[in-house]
Structure 1
C-alpha cells in the first residue's frame, strides 16, 4: 500500500501561532474537502495539464490522480488563476530526502521523465568518490585534498547551485543528519546547516515513516526545516502504534498538533504571546489527546466505540492523506496466500525451549536469538553449521552481476533451476521472478511491506501461473508473536485507510484448502505436523 501525505500552509512559519478569528479557523485545514485521490473529478480544460500534455499522456490513471492531489494541496487549484495567487508557496527549492539505497533510483527517475530542472545529488562520503562527475582541480603544488575535504567541497558546490536557482537537491537521511549539525565550530558546516534549514521551499520524505520515534534525532532535525510544504511517501504509514503514527502525521504536517488540540481539547486557545516557547508543551498535550480520545477508542473491542475513533481520525486526516492500494492486473491468473503453523519435532522443541529461556532474560527481541529461533524452526542442523549461517545471512550483498546471473538462470525457460533461495531484502522492488509460482516464506517479518514486496516479485505482470504463497511459522515460538503483531498492524492500517469493514485476521482460518498440492500434503501428513492453516482472503485474489 502506497501512502502519500502532504501538507501545505498559506502563512509564513513565524505567524503560525498568531491568533485567528473564528471565521478564519478553517484556514488551518485548507483542503479538508478532498477525501482521496479517487474522489477528485478531473479538470481537463484550462488547467495545469495544458502546460505538460506530453507528461500527461505517459502517466497511469493513479499517477494522474496523485499528481492532481499534490498540486491541489501545494498550489490550491489546477486552474491557473487561483494557482497564481498562491505562488508564494510553490516550493522553488525542493529538498528530497531518501534512504541511500534509493538515491540513484530517484536520480534516474528525473532523467527518465526528462524533467527540465537541474538536479543535484549529494552522496555520503564513501559513495561520493564513485559518483563524482568532475575531478577536483588542483593549482600548482597544492597537496591533494583528503576524501573528506573533497566531499565537503562537493556538497558546498551543489548546495550553492541549488540555493542560487530553482532546482532539486537529493540526498540521503544520513548525509542530511550529518550536515545539519549547526553546533559545529567550522563556519562552512554552520553555513550548510543554515541553508538546509532555511532554504527548502518543499520537503519530500521518501520512506518518511522511518523517523517516527519520539526520541528520534532525525525527526527532531527534520522538524527544524522551515517549510510547511511537505510530501511524505510511505508504503506502511502506520507502523507499530498510534504514538508513532501521531509523530509521522506531525512530521508531514507541522500544524497537525494545533488541529488535534482544536478538535479534541475544549480548553485550547491560540495565544500569540509566548507561543514559540509552548511548542514542546503543545506537542505533548496534542499527543496525549490523540492517544486518549482516538487511539484508545480504535483499540477497543466494542464496534461502536472503535468506529467512532476511526471516524474522528479520518475526518482529521482526510484532507492531506491519499492512499493507493494497487490493483492486480486482470491478466494475472491469481494469488492465494496461506499461513501455515507447524508443530516442531522433538529435537526442534528442545532447542526452541532453550532459546526462549535465553530470550526471556533479555529485554525486547535480541536479533541474535531471534535468528537462531528461525534457523531451528527451519531445521535444527542449520544451527551447528556456521558456514550455512554465513552463507544465507551475511550482511554483504552479492555482486550485481552475480545476482543477475543467478536470477537469469532461474528465469531461463526450460532451464534446470527449480528452486531459488533469496533473502527478503534481496527481493526488493525492481526484481522480476515470474518463473516462480510458489513462494515459501521461511521467516516472518516485523514489517508487512517487506513480505508484500517479496510476493510481488512473482505475482507481477508476466506471470503465467497461479501464485501460491506459504508463510511458515513454528508453533509456540516468537515467530507466531511476530506474525500476530504484523497481522494486527496490517489490520489497523486497513481500518484507518479503508472505508469498508475489515475482518479481524484472527478469523482467517481456512475452511477449505483450494491449493491442490497443499491439500495433498496435509492429507498425507501422518505425524500431524500441521497445527493450523489460515488463508489471507483479503490479500488473495482467488
Structure 2
C-alpha cells in the first residue's frame, strides 16, 4: 500500500517481506528516512536474501519489532542488533569470541566457578552495550487489559502399545544414532518418535513396510486393528484430549483450538470429531487467504455452532485472531519455543473476554519432554540477555540434552525430575511458587501437581484419570475482578 499525491508530505510504503524482496532493486534507488520491520525475528539470519535486501536500503533509521528476539542462539540476536546498529557488537566472528562463547560456557551446568564469573561479566557487558538500542516491554502489561490465562503443561502416560513400539524402535534404531553425528537417518528417527507419541496410527505404515526400527512391530498392534478408524485408547495424549473435549463440551460453553505440527495429526482430530459429532473447521497450508479470513470470522461468532478450530502450527501460528475460543490445546511441542508461543497466543489476545486455558500435551518420559527441556534453555538464554534476569538457573547439562533417544518409564515427569525440585516432597508440592511467579517464569517456579487435588481447572481435573501423570500449571496474573 503506497500513499501518493500532492497532499502527502511524508509518503509511507507498507509492504510484505516477500514483496520487498521482489522489488528490492527499485527500492534501493531511493533514500528512506525510517524502516520499521514488524516480526523482526525474521531477520535472525544475516545470510538470507531478505536480510541482505533490507540491509542494502539507504535508510537513516531502522527499527525492529519482535516478541521473540532470541529464538535459538545468541548469533541470531547479534544479527538483529547488527541490522539496526551496525558495528555496535563488532563482526559476527568478534561477537562469538567476545560474548557468545564465554556466556554459554559460563551457563553450562558443568562450568567451573571461574567460567561462571567470566560468563556473568560478559553477560553484563553485552547487556550494557545492547541497552543503548533496545526498548523492552514484557507481556506483564497485557494483564491490565486481558483476562487471566491459565497455562498447563500436561504429561500423559504412554499406552502399553506406544511403550512397546517406543522401546522396540529405540533398541533397533540406536545403532544408527551415533553420538555427535546428525544424519538423515537420525533426523528421520526423531520424527518417527514424535509421531509415535501422538498416536501409533501415524507410524502404522512404517510398521507394515517393516522400516528400520519397526521390523516385526506390526505384531504388537491389536488384532483387527483398522488404521482408518480413530482409536483414542491407543494413545495417552489422544485419550486425554478426548476427555478434555468431552468435559469442555458438556460442562462449559467454551470453544477449543487444536494445534499440531503435523497435518496427519489434524486428520486424526477430524476422525475424532466426526465420531463424537463435534462441529469443526480446519486451517492448514492448503487454504487460501480469502477463505481463511472467512472461516476465522465465522468461528469467532459465539452463536455459531463450530466447537473446534483445527490449526496447523506452520500455517496459522502467526497473526490469527481466534478469540471466539478460550481453550487451546498444543498437541505436540516444537523445537523452537517461539513457534509454540506464537501458536498459543491465538486466543489470549486483544478482544478476549473469558478466562483462557492453554493445555500443552506431552508424552511422559519421551522425546517430547526432552524438547520441552531444550525450549527451557532457549527461553532462559533469552531471559538473561534481553530481560536481564540474573537468577535464571541452567538445570540440564549438555550431556542430558543429548539423551533424546531414551525412554524414562519410571517417572511422573522427566522434566520435573531434572529440576531436583526443593518445593516438592514425596510426590506433593509443599511450598507454593514464589510471589510474582507467572506464565513467563521457569517451569521450576510453576505449580507442580502429582494428582488432581492441586488443579483449579475443573475440565482438566475431570480428565486426570484418562492418562495424566503430572501437570505444571501457572497463571498469567491474579484476577482483580474475581472472575476466576
Interval containing the TM-score (normalised by the shorter chain): 0.5 to 0.7
In structure 1, what is the Cα distance between the partners aligned to 2:284 and 2:310? 16
Establish whether residue 236 from structure 1 lines up as the match of residue 68 from structure 2.
Answer: yes
Residue equivalent to 2:96: 287
CA drift at 1:340 = 1.6
Aligned ranges 1:282-321 → 2 under 5 Å: 283-297=92-106, 307-321=120-134
Residues 214 and 196 from structure 1, CA distance in 2 versus in 1: closer, same or farther, beyond 3 angstroms? closer
Residues 169 and 333 from structure 1, CA distance in 2 versus in 1: closer, same or farther, beyond 3 angstroms? closer
> Residues 494 and 502 of structure 1 are in contact (CA less than 8 Å); yes or no, is this contact kept in structure 2?
no
CA drift at 1:465 = 3.2
In structure 2, what is the Cα distance between the partners aligned to 1:541 and 1:116? 49
Residue equivalent to 1:482: 371
Residues 457 and 502 from structure 1, CA distance in 2 versus in 1: closer, same or farther, beyond 3 angstroms? farther
SS at match of 1:534: strand
Structure 2 residue corresponding to 1:495, chosen from 371, 379, 384:
384
Give the stretch that moved more between structures: 202-211 or 308-317.
202-211
> Residues 72 and 336 of structure 2 are in contact (CA less than 8 Å); yes or no, is this contact kept in structure 1?
no
Residue equivalent to 2:416: none
SS at match of 2:37: strand
Root-mean-square deviation (Å): 4.1
In structure 2, what is the Cα distance between the partners aligned to 1:501 and 1:283? 25
In structure 1, what is the Cα distance between the partners aligned to 2:20 and 2:58? 15
Residue equivalent to 2:84: 252
Structure 2 residue corresponding to 1:515, chosen from 448, 457, 460:
457
Aligned ranges 1:456-475 → 2 under 5 Å: 456-475=345-364
CA drift at 1:445 = 2.2
Structure 2 residue corresponding to 1:428, chosen from 309, 314, 318:
318
> Residues 206 and 232 of structure 1 are in contact (CA less than 8 Å); yes or no, is this contact kept in structure 2?
yes
Residues 353 and 243 from structure 1, CA distance in 2 versus in 1: closer, same or farther, beyond 3 angstroms? farther
SS at match of 2:72: coil
CA drift at 1:472 = 0.7
In structure 1, what is the Cα distance between the partners aligned to 2:164 and 2:319? 38
> Residues 336 and 536 of structure 1 are in contact (CA less than 8 Å); yes or no, is this contact kept in structure 2?
yes
Deviations 1:16-68 (A, max 9, x none): xxxxxxxxxxxxxxxxxxxxxxxxxxxxxxxxxxxxxxxxxxxxxxxxxxxxx
In structure 2, what is the Cα distance between the partners aligned to 1:228 and 1:254? 12
Give the stretch that moved more between structures: 351-360 or 441-450.
351-360
> Residues 37 and 63 of structure 2 are in contact (CA less than 8 Å); yes or no, is this contact kept in structure 1?
yes
The structure number with the bigger radius of gyration is 1
Structure 2 residue corresponding to 1:389, chosen from 264, 278, 297:
264
Deviations 1:69-119 (A, max 9, x none): xxxxxxxxxxxxxxxxxxxxxxxxxxxxxxxxxxxxxx49x89xx99748x
CA drift at 1:517 = 2.9
Aligned ranges 1:217-232 → 2 under 5 Å: 217-227=49-59, 229-232=61-64
In structure 2, what is the Cα distance between the partners aligned to 1:411 and 1:349? 39
Residues 377 and 197 from structure 1, CA distance in 2 versus in 1: closer, same or farther, beyond 3 angstroms? farther
Residues 292 and 422 from structure 1, CA distance in 2 versus in 1: closer, same or farther, beyond 3 angstroms? closer
Count residues in correspondence.
Answer: 345
In structure 2, what is the Cα distance between the partners aligned to 1:306 and 1:540? 32
Aligned ranges 1:258-277 → 2 under 5 Å: 258=90
CA drift at 1:474 = 1.7
**Structure 2: stretches of 5+ with no match in the other structure:** 205-226, 230-262, 268-281, 394-441, 449-453, 480-484
CA drift at 1:338 = 1.1
Residue equivalent to 1:16: none
CA drift at 1:321 = 0.5
In structure 1, what is the Cα distance between the partners aligned to 2:202 and 2:120? 47
CA drift at 1:367 = 7.5
Residues 321 and 490 from structure 1, CA distance in 2 versus in 1: closer, same or farther, beyond 3 angstroms? same
CA drift at 1:319 = 1.3
Residues 206 and 408 from structure 1, CA distance in 2 versus in 1: closer, same or farther, beyond 3 angstroms? closer
> Residues 299 and 306 of structure 1 are in contact (CA less than 8 Å); yes or no, is this contact kept in structure 2?
no
CA drift at 1:442 = 0.4
Deviations 1:153-199 (A, max 9, x none): xxxxxxxxxxxxx634454444555556xxxxxxxxxxx37x61773
In structure 2, what is the Cα distance between the partners aligned to 1:390 and 1:169? 40
SS at match of 2:135: strand
CA drift at 1:236 = 1.0
Aligned ranges 1:11-90 → 2 under 5 Å: none
TM-score normalised by structure 2 residue count:
0.58
Aligned ranges 1:89-168 → 2 under 5 Å: 107=1, 117=8, 167-168=11-12
CA drift at 1:364 = 7.4
In structure 2, what is the Cα distance between the partners aligned to 1:115 and 1:311? 50
Residue equivalent to 1:346: 160
CA drift at 1:342 = 1.9
**Structure 1: stretches of 5+ with no match in the other structure:** 1-106, 119-165, 181-191, 259-281
Residues 446 and 221 from structure 1, CA distance in 2 versus in 1: closer, same or farther, beyond 3 angstroms? same
CA drift at 1:218 = 4.4
In structure 2, what is the Cα distance between the partners aligned to 1:115 and 1:406? 40
Residue equivalent to 2:471: 533
Residues 390 and 411 from structure 1, CA distance in 2 versus in 1: closer, same or farther, beyond 3 angstroms? same
In structure 2, what is the Cα distance between the partners aligned to 1:349 and 1:355? 10
Deviations 1:254-293 (A, max 9, x none): 12134xxxxxxxxxxxxxxxxxxxxxxx552343212244
Deviations 1:331-377 (A, max 9, x none): 64411111122221122234445666389475379886655544432
